[in-house]
């Protein structure tokens, strides 16, 4: 099982209502992708944390993640939700099964 996390620095001046909208849209849209097994998203609660928002998804494998990221729903999510509200991103991917050789993820 692969866990993909995207940390986002939000655009300056985004209000709470806009951040809440981004969170709701993330949940709605990412759950429509067949390859996604589970999603999480949220906003920062620590003032010193520069990453104001994150979303993450679980996939069965790296191949399934690639299919999910190629899905038109994911591409539309990035263009309609992420791009207008996020100025910087950092993506991280982890293998969640202990002992599994990551070459076979």
Number of structural domains (the chain) is: 1
| CATH code at position 86 | 3.30.70.100
One-character DSSP codes across 16-48: HHHHHHHHHHHHHHHTT-TT--EEEEEE--STT
What are the pLDDT digits (tens) for 8-52?
999 999 999 999 999 999 999 999 999 999 999 999 999 888 999
pLDDT of residue 96: 87
What are the pLDDT digits (tens) for 49-71?
899 999 999 999 999 999 999 99
pLDDT of residue 102: 64
Give the domain range for residue 70.
2-99
- Is 104 contained in some domain? no
- Is 71 contained in some domain? yes
Determine contact, residues 56/4, Cβ cutoff 8 Å. yes
- Is 105 contained in some domain? no
pTM: 0.89
- Is 51 contained in some domain? yes
CA pair distance 84, 11, nearest whole angstrom: 8
């Amino acid at each position: 099982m692969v866990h993909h996390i995207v940390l986002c620095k939000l655009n300056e001046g985004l209000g709470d209502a806009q951040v809440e909208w981004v969170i709701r849209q993330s949940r709605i849209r990412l759950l429509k992708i067949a390859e996604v097994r589970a999603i999480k998203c949220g906003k920062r609660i620590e003032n010193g944390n520069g990453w104001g928002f994150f979303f993450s998804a679980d996939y069965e494998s790296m191949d399934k993640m690639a299919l999910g990221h190629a899905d038109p729903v994911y591409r539309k999510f990035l263009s309609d939700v992420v791009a207008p509200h996020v100025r910087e991103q950092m993506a991280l991917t982890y293998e969640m099964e202990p002992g599994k050789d990551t070459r076979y993820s």
